[in-house]
Structure 1
Amino acid sequence: MSSPSPDQTSDQPAYNASGKTSGNTPEHEPENGSENTAEEELIEQAAACEFDPQLWADFAWDWGLGPLADKRVRGWQRDVNLRIKQHLADPTTRYQPLQIAIASGHGIGKSAQMGMLANWAMSCYSNAKVVVTANTGDQLTTKTSPEITKWFKSSITAHWFEYASLSIKSKDKSNKDNWRLDFNTWSENNTEAFAGLHNEGNIILLLMDEASNIPDVIWEVAEGALTDEKTVIIWVAFGNPTRNIGRFRECFRKYRKFWHTRQIDSRNVEGTNKTFLKQLIQKYGEDSDIAKVRVRGMFPSSASHQYISTDLVDAAAKVHLRTDQYDFAPKIIGVDPAWTGEDEFVIYFRQGLYSKLLATFEKNDNDVIMAQHILRYEKELGVDAVFIDGGHGTGLYSIGQTWNRDWRLIWFSGESSDPGCLNKRMEIWQAGRQWLMDGGAIDPKDEVLYQDLIGPELKPRTDGKLQLEAKDEMKKRGIPSPNRADALFLTFAQPVMPKAKRLGTDEQTCDDGKHNPYG
């Protein structure tokens, strides 16, 4: 393979990240002077591609020959490489983290792009640190790692590295442990591999494969670790958009101003099986979730087991209602207590299709104080019923009894009045979902409630009953406990009639001024 012509590299610096053209490159032992000259030219060219992964991709592989006879760098891959070049060529952005998220259909060449980018970083920077992870250990070891290693072994710098099943290291004897690529599996309970993403003064390249199913906690740990100054930091997340929740999804929504995003339709990519893709569209429909995920690179309306779809919650966030539109409807408060940890103590109000978050507290340190908050809202709003989660609400309920309040304990694990639901929690979530479908309105600014509503998934059961996953199970997936959604849906725990209709009067209390048991 010949080096690019001078005009291809005239605007490239003839040095690598350390400002050296040979001193920190892997050690080789050429047999004669011509080989030594060729190796020096290779080192010079690698240094010249420091800021340009596309120039390196064009140079480092034998496009048009052998296994690559009918291959070339695809258009979307060139676009990503250009984005990186623009970021690195500008001194004002060079040492700011560059974050790229790519959602796509199948067969677009994600593994090839990861292999080319990883080889560029390892070849064109001394002391490079590259970390690659995937959604599962099996995906990483049987698919991602072999594909990336294949691209290394077919590159012009294949002889610079030594290969193992879960690592690729420089052959530079003095630097091999620092100049390396690692295929790291993740665990929510063991995040040290990502907490150690430091390489000050050099380059860090983090690649995520099938990122849609990597738990949020791994994203958060990685994000917190990428803080080195004067360091090239590039984070690229690839994935089929299989889940409509989680951090990969939020790269395109909540955090989109921090990420450069691409959604790639497989039909528009060179080398994909257009006949098969067309058959998928014909079989399932252009707007089906299968077509969105496998072909169009779009996130589904709901994940495979997601109970409340994102589309449904998006619609609820666009509804604008006032309480006076539902004067005929009962006023109900739902309370989801919390004692420890990251869970909130939540008080929610609903009247008809209108809902409002009344208060949240980090945790419940004092039942009496929390009960006073509930009582205040109950009186101020003229509430017809108060429902409290029995899990941590027994103390509140007991205090309410001493105050002659008719607050009601609702046990999520209790028996459901609907034979199709496993328990009471499933029953109230089913009612809440129907409320959203009927036009229920939520605060469009309440991002926490939004995530709470779309977070829980159904658990498959052989008896056909509906069961929502437990909060502990959600936390294992990196999804916070949906306290706000639980509090809102507690307002559907039992049928409620407005006091005025029950008492035959518009007054909120009995004529003698004593406590009204329905209040």
Structure 2
Amino acid sequence: MLSNEAILYYANHPVEFVQDILKADPDPEQKKILRSLVENQMTSVRSGHGIGKSAVEAWSVIWFMCTHPYPKIPCTAPTQHQLFDILWAEISKWKRNNKTLDSELIWTKEKLYMKGHAEEWFAVARTASTPDALQGFHAEHMLYIIDEASGVEDKIFEPVLGALSTPGAKLLMCGNPTQLSGFFYDSHNKNREQYSTFHIDGRNSTRVSQEFVQTIINMYGEDSDVFRVRVAGDFPLAEDDIYIPLPLVEKSIATEYFPRRHPQIIHIGCDVARFGTDKTVIGYRTDEKVQFFKKRVGQDTMKTADDIVSLGMLLVYQYGLKPDIDEPIPIKIDDGGVGGGVVDRLRQIKRNNPERFWWMEVYPVKFGQKIRHKFFDDSTTYMMSVLKKLLQPFDDNGLPKDVEIILPDDDALVAQISGRKYEMTENSKIRVESKKVMKARGVQSPDEADCILLVCLPVKRPKKKKGAT
């Protein structure tokens, strides 16, 4: 292991530690972040995707472990995927770059500790899903690592603030700037004087491919919130005419999902391609979790129907659904244009074999259809309102509510939901812009978003016939 002289040197030179010991090559921004950990108590980094945040966090953990006696390093992130599959895996990867280091630092699924000192000299992974995630840690040398910090709720930060009152405690926060409020947002705004802050634009990072940057620009524009957050590393704009703000969408994506053995809600939705480059998108929902099943360009209605049947059979098998016990699965299809062919085919499949396809309950849905509603002008606006209500963190009484929907992390979906504008009609009703209007201002067809609207749309089930069980 390192000599005492080397430890004293590297404790104040993390960049050299990473280069000499871990055999890594930090870029200029990563070097600044590492040096900030020596010079400042609290460091906060906002950036776009792919700039190497997880790597610099992993280097920081290993550096602190090797250069500070008996440290404790609590690490957290909003989801198990972000914490364990990305950050914790990154730590394992880098420690293996040095054989001596690899034998001295013991890595487990939730803990990294110095050999022979498992209870006193360690880093630990705790998801930010419970208020006590970062409580109960006491040591002369502390380093808190908070990944995707914009998605971590303020109550998680409270014990960190208490610990930072001691001289040996430090904090490193990194994340995409998805939320317009909270601890991470404040660190770059009203509380900025208390932090060493970094803003890393993906366009200026050698680690971000220009192909990715150009793709986002081409698809959503440099003035879009998706570009601001996921490339430029800026906080989203609070635009008055956007119906569902980006922070609501990003917060949903960053929410932890705990699957149940037997979901209470199973729905399927399909937006059917009409022409050109439009996509057919099939998605499904199990309780609060929404996922995409297939996306493809094309109008083959028979193939689309077959894909929906395959998904339904998969869900029936996976969750052990039984005709005498479980409700059928609502399958909501965009019935405009060629979508009617998918509806007809699915109904034919069920008619030909009702016993096998008992689980199939088809609901045709028309987008943009005028409806009789006190507040909403058409069916698309109503469906957007349903999704918006599901995304809201508070109920009608202003009280916090349980998570109702967790969206997939999909750039196209995020842009389509958070980029759709609305207006008030002459009758003082809300109307979101149509696909035609969106395309006219250079926005892609909201195929992924429309699929999600269908998946989340509540249904009125048909009444059972008398004598039916």
TM bin (shorter chain): 0.5 to 0.7
- 1:46–1:286 Cα change, 3 Å: same
Q: What is the Cα deviation at residue 138 of structure 1?
A: 2.8
2:47, 2:234 within 8 Å by CA — same for their partners in 1?
Answer: yes
Higher Rg of the two aligned structures: 1
Task: Tell me the alpha carbon deviations over residues 242-283 of structure 1, each in whole angstroms, 9 at most, x when there is no partner.
Answer: 222222111111211211111110111122211221221232
Give the % identical residues: 27
- 1:475–1:126 Cα change, 3 Å: farther
Task: State the partner residue of 2:308.
Answer: none
Matched, 1:245 2:175: no
- 1:476–1:252 Cα change, 3 Å: farther
Matched, 1:83 2:36: yes
Task: State the partner residue of 1:207.
Answer: 145
Q: What is the Cα deviation at residue 463 of structure 1?
A: 11
- 1:277–1:169 Cα change, 3 Å: same
Query: What letter corresponds to residue 221 of structure 1 in structure 2?
Result: P
Q: What is the Cα deviation at residue 176 of structure 1?
A: 2.5
- 1:472–1:42 Cα change, 3 Å: farther
2:21 is aligned, of 56, 60, 68, to 60
Task: State the partner residue of 1:121.
Answer: 64
Whole-angstrom CA distance in 1 between matches of 2:21 and 2:179: 36
- 1:307–1:161 Cα change, 3 Å: closer
Whole-angstrom CA distance in 2 between matches of 1:146 and 1:276: 24
Map 1:108-257 to 2 at 5 A: 108-155=51-98, 157-171=101-115, 173=116, 175-188=117-130, 190-191=131-132, 193-199=133-139, 202-228=140-166, 231-257=167-193
Map 1:219-298 to 2 at 5 A: 219-228=157-166, 231-298=167-234
> What SS does the aligned partner of 2:219 have?
helix
- 1:110–1:467 Cα change, 3 Å: closer
Q: What is the Cα deviation at residue 150 of structure 1?
A: 1.4
Query: What letter corresponds to residue 56 of structure 2 in structure 1?
Result: Q
Structure with more relative contact order (C-alpha pairs < 8 Å, separation 6 or more): 2
Task: Tell me the alpha carbon deviations over residues 131-153 of structure 1, each in whole angstroms, 9 at most, x when there is no partner.
Answer: 11001123212222111221222
- 1:241–1:464 Cα change, 3 Å: closer
Aligned residues: 272
Select between 73-82 and 465-474 the one with higher mean Cα deviation: 465-474
Q: What is the Cα deviation at residue 239 of structure 1?
A: 0.4
Deviating beyond 6 angstroms after TM superposition, the runs of 4 or more aligned structure 1 residues are 462-468
- 1:259–1:461 Cα change, 3 Å: same
1:105, 1:265 within 8 Å by CA — same for their partners in 2?
Answer: yes
CA-based RMSD = 3.3
> What SS does the aligned partner of 1:279 have?
helix
Map 1:284-363 to 2 at 5 A: 284-302=220-238
Q: What is the Cα deviation at residue 194 of structure 1?
A: 1.6
Q: What is the Cα deviation at residue 211 of structure 1?
A: 0.7
The unaligned stretches of length 5 or more in structure 2 are 249-372, 378-382, 404-469
Whole-angstrom CA distance in 2 between matches of 1:142 and 1:309: 24
- 1:127–1:465 Cα change, 3 Å: closer
Whole-angstrom CA distance in 1 between matches of 2:388 and 2:143: 48
1:459, 1:467 within 8 Å by CA — same for their partners in 2?
Answer: no
1:198, 1:226 within 8 Å by CA — same for their partners in 2?
Answer: no
Query: What letter corresponds to residue 167 of structure 1 in structure 2?
Result: K
> What SS does the aligned partner of 1:194 have?
coil
Task: State the partner residue of 1:409.
Answer: none
The unaligned stretches of length 5 or more in structure 1 are 1-38, 64-71, 88-97, 311-416, 422-457, 478-519
1:73 is aligned, of 20, 26, 38, to 26
Query: What letter corresponds to residue 249 of structure 1 in structure 2?
Result: Y
1:420, 1:464 within 8 Å by CA — same for their partners in 2?
Answer: no
